[in-house]
Amino acid sequence: MASPLFDLLNNPVVNEIISTIFRIYLSKLTIYQRFLKYIYQNLQYINDSTRNIDLPTKIDIPS
């Protein structure tokens, strides 16, 4: 006799729902990985372009 979990996983509707969830998850994972790759590749450029910016550390407000 099959277990209830085995019966549930062999249900075509449940199988389709699980497949859909994984397809959506994997598509978002790819987008996230591409974003991180872009940031990593441009990190040196960002660091170089902001290295010599002289920002005031205190705001002088006239009396």
d(CA 22, CA 18): 6
Q: What is the pTM of this model?
A: 0.42
**Per-residue pLDDT reduced to its tens digit, 24-56:** 988 898 888 988 888 888 887 777 776 776 766
Give residue limits of the domains in the chain.
4-49
**Per-residue pLDDT reduced to its tens digit, 4-29:** 777 777 888 888 999 999 999 888 98
DSSP string, 7-63: HHHT-HHHHHHHHHHHHHHHHHHHHHHHHHHHHHHHHHHHHHHHTT----SSPPPP-
